[in-house]
Chains A and B, each alone.
Chain A
Amino acid sequence: MNSPTTGTFSVPARLLHWSMAIMVMSMLFIGIGMVATVSERHVWLLQLHKPLGIAILALVIVRLFVRWRYGTPALPSDLPPWQRAAAHLSHWMLYALMLAIPLIGWTMLSAGGYPVTLFSGVTLPDLVSPSATLYSALRFAHTWLALSLFAVILIHLAAALYHGLIRRDGVLASMTKGQKHP
């Protein structure tokens, strides 16, 4: 017998969650795809990658504010402690990665001496002065943190489906329908 969760996510939190879920997933596929081809896809995916990544950076800041302002529903009281700990850890990892990866993307381009062009005529300021050593470290981090983000997202998705399909404790519904489970 699984006891249901209490409360739901606020409307802004749910809107942010689902729009960012689509954006972040798209970004991972765009990123991995654009560095794996020499075709024209490389160019237009990269042109999408930079502005979309900066949009995610802006939205994650709004989202952390919304989370602080509206809070989150409590997890079901009978959830085993290790699952509770894993939930909290993975959520904070998701926030940290969504913040760090685009920031690193921007900083790495500055360190590589590249103009950080979002659209024709819209160029972000340099965050650091050019340094090949820094570029190289950040370029490495950008890839590996992005791959980690993909892994954490898959675990997060599996856990959400576990709540929705196996435990059926209203945790998934608190983010989808936003109503307390029956």
Chain B
Amino acid sequence: MILKTPPPLNTIFRFTVIGLVIAILATAFAYVGGWLDPGRLTPDRMINTLEDNAGVHEGYRRNHAKGYCVVGRFESNGNAVSLSRASVFETGRVSPVIGRLAIPGGDPHANDGMPPIRSFALQFQLPNDEQWRTAMNAMPVFPVSTPQAFWELLKASQPDSQSGKPDAAKMAAFFADHPETKPFLAWAKTAQRSSSFVNVEYNSLDAFRFIDADGTTQFVRWGLVPEAPFTSMTEAQKRDPDFLSKDLRERLNQGPQRWHLIVAVANPGDPTNDATLVWPEDRRQIDAGVVTIESAQAQADGPCRDINYDPLVLPDGIAGSDDPLLSARSAAYSESYNRRTREEAESATPSTQEPRS
């Protein structure tokens, strides 16, 4: 019945077994959590590197820090119904959208004329608590195709503490090591800076999957094509670091601004996991409807401030692809969102104050 007390040696052995079980579990947990693996590219490291480059601006996004909230709607014409069962594409459905127009970079006080790129993020509110979020850039291709390469690019472009400019030699070495950046560099060489947020075309760059009512899947990329004709940044605009927001206000005073949501469908064999490559021009393109923006608001107290435009917040009928940038964006945007909402909560007033206006 009752067991004899085990001999002391045996007891020591049994205690050791217990200790080992606990130690192994704790070590495995620490390993999975990345604490024993300092070389792993974690969302934390990615965001730290963005902060190293641009400084910590509390309450602001760690990338695309300078931007403005916009509000409007998307009217679907039904053309995409055959491709995706997502409710947003139902014929005649009007979905409210909250958007954000921004420029890339972690500095919320940046000069609008500096980057050649503008960005447009959208959140479509759909029935049954579903949402579709997308964050698009005004460029034809992304410079790199993997999160690791993006991180190395961030490292290479870290501004020198003396000059405030990236080290040209490091940049050159990075681009030499990364031939996949060639299409981007070719574009950047000739890219015209636009005079406005509203007259440029924005692209998802990453591929996604559309799933129709029968479950058939197609790879797609989407973009917004503006109705306003493109014009370049003027000499007067070059001297005004905030010309994009002023232009936006003036344009919206004249009336709502419109873009067509264009969906490009891949042919079998087109690259779906590589945002540095364009798809051939002749791919099927569908005009799925019109995004109309009616008003803009400063991000300090606008409705886009507390939205994380995570590209993998998708409704039924749209899904991610095998593009490795998507998971990295999802993970890194969440870490950026965690930091900025925490800073917002800790300061009595929202800390995303308008830079200059």
Contact = CB atoms under 8 A, between A and B. Distances in A.
A162 B331 contact: no
A38 B313 contact: no
A39 B327 contact: yes
B319 A120 contact: yes
Contacts of B33: 32-33, 36
A4 B1 CA distance: 9
14 contacts: A36-B40, A36-B42, A38-B46, A38-B331, A39-B41, A39-B327, A39-B328, A43-B330, A114-B313, A115-B130, A121-B316, A136-B345, A139-B342, A165-B14
B344 A35 contact: no
A2 interface: yes
Q: For this complex, into which size category does the number of interface residues on chain A fall?
A: 35 or more
Interface string A32-57: 11111111111100100000000000
A151 B333 CA distance: 29
Interface of A: 1-4, 28-29, 32-43, 46, 112-117, 120-121, 123-126, 130, 132-133, 135-137, 139-140, 150, 154, 157-158, 161-162, 165-166, 168, 182
Nearest to A1: B2
B29 A136 contact: no
A113 B312 CA distance: 14
Interface of B: 1-3, 5-6, 11, 14-15, 17-18, 21-22, 25-26, 28-29, 32-34, 40-44, 46, 128-131, 147, 305-308, 310, 312-313, 316, 319-320, 324, 326-328, 330-332, 334-335, 337-338, 341-342, 344-345
Nearest to B11: A166
A140 B26 CA distance: 21
Contacts of B334: 35
A2 B128 CA distance: 59
Give 3 nearest A-B pairs by CB, closest first: A121-B316, A36-B34, A38-B328
A136 B313 contact: no
A124 B131 CA distance: 12
B34 A43 contact: no
Nearest to B18: A161
B324 A40 contact: yes
Given A32-B29, A38-B147, 8 more contacts: A29-B32, A35-B43, A35-B335, A36-B34, A38-B327, A115-B131, A133-B341, A166-B11
A158 B22 contact: yes
Contact of A125 (B2, B43, B44, B129): B129
Contacts of B44: 36
Nearest to A36: B34
Contacts of B29: 28-29, 32, 150
A89 to B, nearest CB: 19
Contacts, number: 135
Contacts of A33: 32-33
A165 B33 CA distance: 30
B311 to A, nearest CB: 11
B121 to A, nearest CB: 13
A137 B331 CA distance: 19
A121 B328 CA distance: 23
B129 A182 contact: no
A75 to B, nearest CB: 16
A38 B42 CA distance: 6
B18 A139 contact: no
A126 B34 contact: no
Contacts of A117: 130, 313
B348 to A, nearest CB: 11
A120 B308 CA distance: 19
Contacts of B328: 38-39, 42
Nearest to B85: A121
A40 B341 contact: no
B32 A39 contact: no
